């Protein structure tokens, strides 16, 4: 009588668990990169027309890339359904408000710092 592999029955569940974990992390990274792209476009809004090349590389491409990352994250959440995307929604739903609660509770001045003047050096050529 051949020996049975006890992990063989658990392996598909473990494989699905790791696959879901990797997908969830990828969606969170997509949202993070999306926020970064939009923040880059917002940061350079005052000097965006310094040159056509700067507008393309400093504002338009980061904005479009950020919007695309948000779209990809949204599509993954939509296709996986509410139960499949619950960890992502919980992480975003709790994480974003907790940043503001922490800022309020610690009286941090991180969000109240004066804006650093962005220099358009290199953008004027």
Alpha-carbon distance values, 125 to 52, 117, 122 (Å): 9, 19, 6
The answer to whether residues 73 and 31 touch, using CB atoms and an 8 Å cutoff, is yes
Residues 6+ apart with CB under 8 A from 109: none
pLDDT digits (tens, 9 = 90+) for 54-108: 899 989 999 999 999 999 999 988 888 877 888 888 888 998 899 888 888 888 7
Query: Distance between CA atoms of 6 and 51, rounded to whole angstroms?
Result: 65
Average pLDDT over residues 45-56: 87
Per-residue b or e along 25-46, where b marks 16 or more CB atoms closer than 10 Å to that residue's CB: eebbebbebbeebbebbebbee
Higher pLDDT, 62 or 16: 62
Residue 50: CB atoms within 10 Å:
20
Q: For residue 124, name the pLDDT band (cuts at 50, 70, 90).
A: very low
Q: Is the pLDDT of residue 1 over 70?
A: no
- Give this prediction's pTM: 0.71
């Amino acid at each position: 009588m051949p020996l049975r592999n006890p992990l063989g029955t658990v392996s598909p569940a473990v494989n699905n668990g790791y696959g879901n974990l990797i997908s969830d992390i990828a969606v969170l990274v997509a949202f993070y990169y999306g926020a970064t792209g939009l923040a880059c476009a917002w940061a350079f809004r005052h000097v965006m027309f310094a040159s056509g090349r700067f507008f393309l590389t400093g504002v338009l491409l980061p904005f479009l890339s950020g919007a695309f990352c948000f779209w990809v994250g949204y599509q993954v959440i939509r296709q996986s359904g509410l139960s499949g995307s619950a960890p992502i929604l919980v992480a975003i739903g709790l994480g974003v408000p907790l940043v503001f609660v922490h800022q309020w509770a610690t009286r941090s001045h991180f969000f109240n710092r004066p804006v650093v003047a962005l220099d358009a050096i290199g953008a004027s050529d």
